[in-house]
């Protein structure tokens, strides 16, 4: 299993979520974070104006997937989240050693 930590534009969250659901990927957690990439948030516009501080609001989506779903999910997320402008975000991929569905006790892939 792998975990995708996706940092995307807030106004792309609904589109990304809908595209993942359409592909049968349902389990996810989202939150709002503040961050910056290599431009340190300086040159990026947010809602039409330069943001007063350089930690810009972004949406973070965390998704744990079976290994064989990862490449497809990455492609779906990139397609839905890309504008081509700086600040489109990133996907960080890491290994997950196990998962548990609390209600049933299922483990691993079966718990997703």
Ligand X SMILES: Nc1ncnc2c1ncn2[C@@H]1O[C@H](COP(=O)(O)OP(=O)(O)OP(=O)(O)O)[C@@H](O)[C@H]1O
Residues that bind ligand X (CB under 6 A): 7, 33, 35-39, 56, 58, 86-90
Our CB check for ligand X shows the closer of 42 and 101 to be: 42
- Residue 35, interface with Mg ion (CB under 5 A)? no
Our CB check for Mg ion shows the closer of 35 and 108 to be: 35
- Residue 45, interface with Mg ion (CB under 5 A)? no
What SS3 class is residue 28? coil
- Residue 37, interface with Mg ion (CB under 5 A)? yes
Cα–Cα nearest to 81, from 54, 63, 64: 63
> How many whole angstroms separate alpha carbon 101 and alpha carbon 47?
39
108 binds, among ligand X, Mg ion, none (CB under 5 to 8 A by kind): none
CA 77 to chain centroid, in Å, comes to 7
81 within 8 A of 15, measured Cβ to Cβ = yes
Q: Which residues of this protein are in contact with Mg ion, per CB under 5 A?
A: 37, 39, 86-87
């Amino acid at each position: 299993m792998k975990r995708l930590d996706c940092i995307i534009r807030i106004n792309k969250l609904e589109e990304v979520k809908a595209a993942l659901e359409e592909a049968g990927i349902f389990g996810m957690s989202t939150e709002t974070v503040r961050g910056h990439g290599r431009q340190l948030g300086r040159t990026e516009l947010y809602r039409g104006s330069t943001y007063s501080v350089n930690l810009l609001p972004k949406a973070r989506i965390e998704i744990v997937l079976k290994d064989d779903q990862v490449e497809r999910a990455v492609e779906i997320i990139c397609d839905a989240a890309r504008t081509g402008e700086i600040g489109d975000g990133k996907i960080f991929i890491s290994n997950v050693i196990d998962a548990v569905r609390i209600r049933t006790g299922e483990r691993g892939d079966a718990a997703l």
